[in-house]
Amino acid sequence: MANFQKLPSRAEDYSKWYNELVVKADLAEQSAVRGCMVIKPYGYAIWETIQHELDRRFKEQGVKNAYFPLLIPKSFLSREAEHVEGFAKECAVVTHHRLMNDPNGKGVVVDPNAKLEEELIIRPTSETIIWSTYKNWISSYRDLPILCNQWCNVMRWEMRTRLFLRTAEFLWQEGHTAHATKEEAEAYARRMLDVYADFAENVMAIPVVKGVKSPNERFAGALNTYCIEAMMQDGKALQAGTSHFLGQNFAKSFDVQFLSKENKYEYVWATSWGVSTRLMGALIMTHSDDNGLVLPPHLAPIQIVLVPIFKTEEQLNAILNRMNPILEKLQKAGVRIKVDTTDKYTPGYKFADYELKGVPVRLAMGGRDLENGTIEVARRDTLTKETVSLDGIEEKLLSLLEEIQKNCYTKALNYRIANTRECNSYEEFKEEIKKGGFLLCHWDGTPETEERIKEETKATIRCIPLEALPGYKEEPGVCMVTGKPSPRRVVFAIAY
RNA sequence: CGGGAAGUAGUUCAGCCCGGUGGAAUGCCUGCUUUGGGAGCAGGAGGUCGCAGGUUCGAAUCCUGUCUUCCCGACCA
């Protein structure tokens, strides 16, 4: 009996469970550089599927991909006052462009003669470099709208990092659009929020609350920030995506004007929107269990794995001969399949390993099945298995994958519903928030009240929901702290 | 960036207090037997003890500095 290391349970230590799962499931690991991760092939395969699915949806919205530089002149960042205020404290700065041999010994040192005239910032986000570029692209209303997206890395010098959830460097996409009218820009920011919500729910199987950020939580430089918020299994909230209506702030800072039909100069209206590798963290913390990763089929790099059980090569070949036509049919239907023919590990080892990796469906076939014309089908989401006939197995498996996808979503939604409740007094709130989950409360709309609640309870307003959560009605009331009127309940939670 | 803990074989850890040629388990390699829930036996390879200085005849062990990770704060997606 191998003395393998089990994952810590979620109940024992959620944070430790997460950290170890990321590494043991082969998603990512720490790198030699503080706060920066190595995303391993298995983890990157999931990210590539995320990219692929999102990219397709963006293109349906008329978005085109482009690429802007990693380095941003320092002066650009300071053009928009709130923007620089928001990011200045976490920027990495490039000051020199050359190394030289250390005159006093081994290795290389920065060449003091190679100091840059103007220092360059490693992008924490690209609004400034993009708007300085858009200025050259826009002169007439006929040039609008511009709908660009870039897939890239950004860097924010974080004090405390965790794989996927908060790393100094992370991968993301940032969309930047320019519009002729306020209405069009606002509508576009809203539309991209819907794209994110659709993606989160149908591909990642993560239920989200669509909402608006309170002024305290708004993106630096935006007039309005929309977001999708998800609930993790430990009851904490995680912002899964944001879409900003930037108004004319960046157009004014970078002097981007266009000539309207009426032959008048007007400033351009802007949006930006993004999701990052943080989604990987959301994925893990929404579905996985104490046995390891649970991946919704739409995102799983391997959707079905076949573990043949054999003693001799003849037996293996007999199994493969029986299964190959079935697997080919499934592959033609677009299913991602792996057949594990290695004899390096025993079947029991493979079972445990594919569970750790979150493969949605595991098939096992041995001599017994071959005789009976059956196969063992195991589901990762429910950890159940049954032996079924090979007749019509392809259709059964295809619908099983869809069922698992739905079940992942339903389970997560039920968990969120079970951990969402209304809360009417601040005293009650202080107790309830310790249990985690979403608390729907009335708030007077002032930053002061939100700040006070944050200081006293660590909870923040995750969003002002665009529509009432399922099972709840939108109704006015009074603020739980100050008693002032409140038009609707907002979502409070402790956040990642 | 403050407070705490830790860095020794691929991995998890013992050894450190009290200095004297570095251990275990697991993993890896080879062979045989195994294979329906993390296989067994036998043999083998694998470490300048995070890094840099210092003390000493001699440092994994003592001292100083530094880097990284984890936990708690402050900050933030």
Which CATH number is A376's domain given? 3.40.50.800
For residue A44, the model assigns a pLDDT of 96
pLDDT at A481 over 90: yes
A9 in any annotated domain: no
For residue A78, what pLDDT band results from cuts at 50, 70 and 90?
Answer: confident
A76 in any annotated domain: no
Tell me the H-state helices in A13-112: 14-24, 41-60, 74-77, 81-87
For residue A68, the model assigns a pLDDT of 97
Q: Which domain holds residue A61?
A: 15-71+125-287
Are both A310 and A451 inside the same structural domain? no
For residue A103, the model assigns a pLDDT of 78
Q: Are strands A115-122 and A93-96 parallel, antiparallel or unpaired?
A: antiparallel
pLDDT at A3 over 70: no
Helix A278-287 and helix A14-24, axial crossing angle in degrees, nearest 10: 110
Instruction: Please give the structure tokens belonging to residue A358.
Output: 């979150």
Over residues A101-123, mean pLDDT: 86
For residue A107, what pLDDT band results from cuts at 50, 70 and 90?
Answer: confident
Distance CA A299 to C1' B21 in A: 54
pLDDT at A101 over 90: no
Are both A200 and A134 inside the same structural domain? yes
Give the range among A95-109, A170-184, A274-288 with minimum mean pLDDT.
A95-109
Instruction: For residue A154, give the CATH number of its domain.
Output: 3.30.930.10
Are both A373 and A447 inside the same structural domain? no
**Nearest Cα to A284, choosing from A9, A17, A11?**
A17
**Nearest Cα to A419, choosing from A406, A405, A434, A401?**
A434
pLDDT at A348 over 90: yes
Q: What is the per-residue burial (b if ≥16 Cβ within 10 Å, else e) of A260-283?
A: eeeeeeebbbbbbbbbbbbbbbbb
Give nearest nucleotide to A343 (CA–C1').
Answer: B35
The residue behind tokens 């079940």 is A407
Give nearest nucleotide to A167 (CA–C1').
Answer: B77
How far apart CA A51 and CA A333 sit, in angstroms, is 21
For residue A329, the model assigns a pLDDT of 98
Average per-residue pLDDT for chain A: 95
Over residues A186-215, mean pLDDT: 97
Distance CA A103 to C1' B56 in A: 32
Over residues A401-423, mean pLDDT: 97
Instruction: For residue A437, give the CATH number of its domain.
Output: 3.30.110.30
State pLDDT tens for residues A160-189. Answer: 999 999 999 999 999 999 999 999 999 999
How far apart CA A326 and CA A373 sit, in angstroms, is 13
Are both A397 and A434 inside the same structural domain? no
Distance CA A368 to C1' B2 in A: 64
With distances taken from each CA to the C1' atom of nucleotide B37, the closest residue turns out to be A348
The number of residues in chain A equals 496
For residue A125, the model assigns a pLDDT of 95
Percent of chain A with pLDDT over 90: 91
Give nearest nucleotide to A87 (CA–C1').
Answer: B76
A87 in any annotated domain: no
Instruction: Please give the structure tokens belonging to residue A243.
Output: 């879409």
Kindly report the backbone phi and psi dihedral angles of residue A122, in degrees, each rounded to the nearest multiple of 5, phi listed first.
Answer: -75, 125
How far apart CA A205 and CA A358 sit, in angstroms, is 14
Distance CA A474 to C1' B13 in A: 56
Over residues A137-148, mean pLDDT: 98
With distances taken from each CA to the C1' atom of nucleotide B35, the closest residue turns out to be A346
Give nearest nucleotide to A164 (CA–C1').
Answer: B77
Q: Specify the DSSP element, H or E, that contains A230.
A: strand A224-231
Are both A214 and A135 inside the same structural domain? yes
Tell me the one-letter amino acid at A14.
Y
Distance CA A11 to C1' B13 in A: 24
For residue A106, the model assigns a pLDDT of 66
State pLDDT tens for residues A328-338. Answer: 999 999 999 99
Are both A399 and A472 inside the same structural domain? no
**Covered bases, chain B (protein CB within 7 Å):** 1, 11-12, 25-29, 34-40, 67-77
Distance CA A351 to C1' B38 in A: 8
**Nearest Cα to A40, choosing from A360, A357, A275, A496?**
A357
pLDDT at A418 over 90: yes
Distance CA A359 to C1' B14 in A: 37
Give nearest nucleotide to A348 (CA–C1').
Answer: B37
Are both A371 and A428 inside the same structural domain? no
Q: What's the domain count of chain A?
A: 3
C-alpha dihedral over A481, A483, A486, A489, to 10 degrees? 40
pLDDT at A4 over 70: no
Over residues A217-221, mean pLDDT: 91
Are both A258 and A366 inside the same structural domain? no
Give nearest nucleotide to A24 (CA–C1').
Answer: B11
Instruction: Check residues A230 and A89 and name the one with the higher pLDDT.
Output: A230
Are both A192 and A220 inside the same structural domain? yes
Are both A207 and A322 inside the same structural domain? no
A309 in any annotated domain: yes
For residue A32, the model assigns a pLDDT of 84
Long-range contacts of residues A39-48, Cβ cutoff 8 Å, at least 24 apart: A39/A171, A39/A277, A42/A301, A42/A357, A43/A280, A45/A301, A46/A280, A46/A283, A46/A295, A46/A299, A46/A300, A46/A301, A47/A171, A47/A277, A47/A280
Are both A441 and A329 inside the same structural domain? no
Distance CA A144 to C1' B28 in A: 61
